[in-house]
Amino acid sequence: MFPDLHGAEDLRGAERGRRRPEPAGALAPVLARARRRAVRAGDVEIDSGHLLHALLECDEQVLGLAAPLPTQATRLMGYLAQRSIGFGRDWLQGEGESADDGVGIPRQRFALPPGLSDAAEAAVDRAQVAALLRDAAEADPLDLLAELASDPDSRAAKMLKGAGADPSAVADRARQR
């Protein structure tokens, strides 16, 4: 079933503890798209960048809040397009992404669906809390955008900065609705 995966059993065991996104409610299409992006890229985890990209695809308000200036929107979408086709993969490694799994096994060989990176999981959890605090039954894309942008160390925040957008201002705009 898993040819040439020397040592992969240990890695699969370690991955069992990782939370798998289970799409539900308003975030269902976002998590589903982010999962597909990670699978297509051969990534072991869904990182905050996958979530940001999926948000931009799923909710028309997100781009206006994330990158309100035309130059910011162009930069952000250009960066996401480059990331989608793998441009710069080797020089832009970080949260949830590496060339191999640490023992020489390429990521794309894993049959398990990707789980959330620590930063992505924290953002989803904080989005759920934010929704409860505003008396909503569930988190929506703007809750998730605010939480992705509010973590300065996340890939999503770094992508926003790279596009010329201030992540804390993005978080504020998303929270103000």
**pLDDT band at residue 173 using 50, 70 and 90 as cut-offs:** very high
Q: Which residues contact 45 (CB under 8 A, 6 or more apart)?
A: 18, 38, 96, 97, 114, 115, 116, 117, 120
Q: Give the type of residue at 126.
A: R
Q: Give the 3-state secondary structure of residue 106.
A: strand
Nearest 5°: phi and psi at 97? -140, 130
Structural contact between residues 115 and 18, judged by C-beta atoms closer than 8 angstroms: yes
Which residues lie across from 15 on neighbouring strands? none
* Domain locations in the chain as residue ranges: 25-90+116-176
Q: How far apart are the first and last CA of the chain?
A: 48
For residue range 5-14, what is the model confidence (pLDDT) as tens digits? 333 333 333 4
Q: pTM of the predicted model, to two decimals?
A: 0.76
Between 15 and 8, whose confidence is greater?
Answer: 15
Closest CA to 116 of 128, 133, 104, 131: 128
Structural contact between residues 127 and 143, judged by C-beta atoms closer than 8 angstroms: yes
For residue range 58-102, what is the model confidence (pLDDT) as tens digits? 999 999 999 999 999 999 999 888 887 765 444 344 555 544 444
For residue range 110-167, what is the model confidence (pLDDT) as tens digits? 456 789 999 999 999 999 999 999 999 999 999 999 999 999 999 999 999 999 999 9
Q: Please determine, for residue 168, whether its predicted confidence score (pLDDT) is greater than 50.
A: yes
Which residues lie across from 38 on neighbouring strands? none
What would be the CATH architecture of the domain defined by 25-90+116-176? Orthogonal Bundle (1.10)
Alpha carbons 158 and 48: distance in angstroms, whole number: 10
Instruction: Supply the pLDDT for residue 84.
Output: 77
